[in-house]
């Protein structure tokens, strides 16, 4: 049967968690170091063959060097699959040599072979483990041969009570080596079982997450479609209310009736604007219609559109722009600028100035600067999320739509505090938009 593809993020999470596990193993070695030092001291006070002294010294130096290297590497870069394999192979080989130097099958270090085998079965690939397991089995039977053949003088340290097999007969050595070999297999069996259980849990968790996200996305899409349909249907009755309000305003006498009809008309206009923004946000972004655009013409056009609104609020508009040409969808960039300029005018107090400036460079920048209350530091980048607004009657969609339109061009929209008070909305646009 074909192997089921792993869910998105499986390899990254697996590597991260195995790296964390291996890091704990490295820290666990700190608890073993005092025991190892004590063992070496114990052996040092007893007579020993020169080959054993040299081998133990080399093991101690290499163990310290490898331990420091592993800790530094793990803290700086983490551990990947290749590092797992190298560390496991080094640990298995080092343990076998250490056991050889301290008495072979009778060494107190021999039993460490089993946890090394189990951890290796968890963290490394099966092929690497099988190769190292073969080395471990060869070490077991090689030490069994040394125990029974007498080829290596003083193989069993006097510190551990003997020499020349230390009372072990050939049958005892054979059965010990056989059971030890079976122990390597059992350790591998449990280690691979733990790895499979971990991978299975991780896979099921990621699949459940993907299913939940898929269900949420479908539900959100259905709600967005339904909301857009409701918003669209509300536009027609609002248009009728607006028309009737205009007719009634003509017949209303001066005083309160006229004022009330004007309030009604303004609220209907505001509701229509909110519905338009919502529809722009809910519908997918249509592909760009890219063409060459003169940037100053576009910027001055947006400023001219808002001259009446600025005059009504007592705000001055100042435009400074460099001559530049870019390829973009002019309708969408214009819509993004309209949303930003309207926000700036709304936020500005009377007699303030809203500045619109563009700058030619590696990328084109258009900045809108105001002297309003500025960006709330607690909001941060959340001001671009749908529904987030500081206006009493805002919809919280203007900046969301503007950023989406700019990003569709491959650019970015940012909103930062202005020195001296106010905000700076900056559009950074590439010269050539992605069509």
Q: Which residue has the tokens 């500045």?
A: 355
In tens, the pLDDT along 283-301 reads 666 677 889 999 999 999 8
What's the pLDDT score for residue 426?
Answer: 92
133 close to 188: Cβ distance less than 8 angstroms: yes
Q: What is the pLDDT of residues 133-152, one digit of tens each?
A: 888 898 889 888 888 887 77
Instruction: Count the neighbouring beta carbons within 10 Å of the beta carbon of residue 123.
Output: 23
- Distance separating alpha carbons of residues 401 and 368, to the nearest angstrom: 16
What is the model's pLDDT at position 48?
Answer: 60
* CB 26, CB 78: distance < 8 Å: no
Rounded Cα–Cα distance for residues 358 and 136 (Å): 71
Neighbours of 274 (CB within 10 A): 17
pLDDT over 90 (residue 112): no
Q: Which segments of 306-379 does DSSP mark as H helices, in order?
A: 307-313, 330-347
- DSSP at 432: B
3-state class of 277 per DSSP? helix
Measure the CA–CA gap between 21 and 224, rounded to whole angstroms. Answer: 44
Q: Which residue has the tokens 């505001």?
A: 270
Give the Cα separation of 305 and 310 in Å (integer). 10
Q: Report the pLDDT value the prediction gives residue 30, as an integer from 0 to 100.
A: 57
According to DSSP, residue 112 is labeled G
d(CA 234, CA 203): 46
- CA dist 188 to 138, 246, 364, 379, Å? 16, 84, 61, 53
Of all residues in the chain, the percent with pLDDT exceeding 90 is 9
* Cβ pair 429, 411 in contact under 8 A: yes
How many helices (H) and strands (E) in the chain? Answer: 11, 7
* Residue 136 · residue 88 · CB < 8 Å: no
pLDDT score for 1: 41
d(CA 193, CA 200): 10
pLDDT value at 312 more than 80: yes
Residue 356 has pLDDT above 90, yes or no: yes
Is residue 43 classed as helix, strand or coil in its secondary structure? helix
pLDDT value, residue 378: 63
Which tokens belong to 356?
């619109």
pLDDT confidence tier of residue 276, bands split at 50, 70 and 90: confident
> Given the DSSP bridges, would you call strands 291-294 and 412-417 parallel, antiparallel or unpaired?
unpaired
pTM of model > 0.85: no
Contact 113, 101 (CB under 8 A): no
Question: Cβ distance 366 to 299 under 8 Å?
Answer: yes
Distance CA 375, CA 25 (A): 48
Share of the chain above pLDDT 70, in %: 68
CA distance 429 to 267: 36
Q: What is the pLDDT of residues 50-109, one digit of tens each?
A: 666 666 666 666 665 655 555 555 555 555 556 667 767 777 877 787 787 777 887 777
């Amino acid at each position: 049967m074909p192997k089921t593809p792993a869910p998105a993020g499986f390899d990254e999470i697996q590597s991260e968690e195995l790296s964390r596990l291996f890091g704990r193993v490295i820290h666990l070695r700190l608890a073993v170091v005092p025991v190892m030092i004590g063992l070496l001291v114990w052996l040092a006070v007893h007579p020993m063959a020169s080959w054993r002294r040299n081998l133990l010294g080399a093991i101690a130096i290499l163990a310290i060097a490898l331990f420091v290297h592993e800790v530094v590497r793990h803290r700086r870069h983490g551990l990947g699959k290749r590092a797992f394999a190298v560390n496991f192979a080094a640990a298995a080989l080092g343990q076998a040599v250490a056991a050889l130097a301290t008495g072979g099958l009778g060494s107190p270090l021999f039993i460490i072979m089993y946890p090394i085998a189990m951890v290796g079965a968890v963290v490394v690939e099966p092929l690497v483990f099988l190769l190292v397991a073969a080395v471990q089995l060869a070490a077991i039977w090689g030490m069994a041969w040394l125990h029974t053949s007498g080829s290596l003088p003083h193989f069993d340290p006097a510190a551990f009570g003997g020499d020349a097999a230390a009372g072990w007969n050939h049958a005892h050595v054979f059965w010990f080596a056989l059971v030890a070999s079976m122990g390597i297999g059992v350790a591998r069996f449990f280690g691979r079982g733990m790895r499979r259980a971990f991978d299975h849990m991780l896979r099921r968790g990621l699949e459940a997450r993907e299913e939940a996200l898929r269900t949420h996305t479908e539900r959100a899409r259905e709600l967005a479609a339904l909301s857009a349909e409701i918003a669209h249907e509300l536009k027609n009755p609002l248009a009728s209310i607006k028309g009737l309000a205009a007719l009634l305003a003509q017949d209303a006498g001066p005083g309160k009736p006229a004022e009330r009809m004007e309030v009604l008309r303004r609220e209907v206009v505001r509701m229509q604007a909110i519905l338009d923004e919502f529809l722009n946000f809910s519908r997918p972004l249509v592909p760009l219609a890219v063409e060459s655009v003169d940037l100053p013409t576009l910027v001055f056009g947006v400023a001219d559109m808002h001259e009446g609104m600025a005059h009504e609020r007592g705000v001055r508009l100042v435009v400074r722009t460099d001559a530049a040409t870019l390829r973009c969808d002019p309708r969408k960039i214009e819509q993004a600028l309209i949303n930003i300029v309207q926000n700036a005018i709304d936020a500005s107090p009377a007699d303030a100035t809203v500045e619109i400036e563009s700058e030619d460079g590696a990328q084109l920048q258009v900045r809108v600067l105001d002297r309003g209350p500025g960006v709330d530091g607690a909001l941060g980048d959340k001001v671009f999320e749908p529904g987030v607004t500081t206006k009493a009657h805002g919809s919280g969609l203007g900046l969301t739509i503007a950023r989406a339109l700019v990003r569709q061009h491959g650019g970015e929209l940012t909103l930062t505090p202005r020195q001296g008070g106010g905000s700076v909305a900056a559009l950074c646009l590439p010269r050539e938009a992605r069509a």
